[in-house]
Amino acid sequence: MTQTTLFVCSSCRFSPNEASRNGISGGQHLIEQLQQALAAQNLQDAVHLEPVRCMAGCQQPCNVSLAAPGKLTFILSQVSPIDGAASVSAFCQQYTACADGRVPYRERPVAVQKATAFVLPPLPINSPST
């Protein structure tokens, strides 16, 4: 199975007006929620959750990216640290089951539809010879 990586900014704020709650950033809270949600769907081995210190989208927390070799890359912004994990995890399940990552738009969780900021094509598999 192709390894999927879920990058999550661990530094993102809870909201534009609230950096942290009880000393925990919004991004770190989202990571903890995602760990539970992925495990609940038995995706902890198929999806590697990779915290990132900053993804340069600080004005639109929380920021997440889903990528795998040969698949589309999705960049999501303004994912709720409170209740965004279930939708992102559900999308991870769809993405891992889809050979090229092209999960039909209408089948994606509504929160993921709204949070999708960018979709990038797969990287070329072979680099040009030199």
Q: Which of 12, 64, 88, 111 is the binder for ligand FES (CB under 6 A)?
A: 12
CA atoms within 13 A on the CB side of 1: 13
Give the range of 30-38, 57-65, 93-101, 108-116 binding ligand FES by CB under 6 A: 57-65
Q: Does 40 bind ligand FES (CB under 6 A)?
A: no
As a whole number of angstroms, the distance between CA 59 and CA 129 comes to: 40
Q: Which of 29, 37, 57, 112 is the binder for ligand FES (CB under 6 A)?
A: 57
B/e letters for 31-43, b = 16+ CB within 10 Å, e = fewer, are: bebbeebbeebeb
Closest CA to 81 of 62, 101, 107: 62
Least spacing, CB of residue 10 vs ligand FES, in Å? 8
Name residue, tokens 């929620």: 33
Q: Which of 27, 81, 84, 101 is the binder for ligand FES (CB under 6 A)?
A: 27
Least spacing, CB of residue 127 vs ligand FES, in Å? 29
Binding site for ligand FES (CB under 6 A): 9, 11-12, 27, 54-58, 61, 63
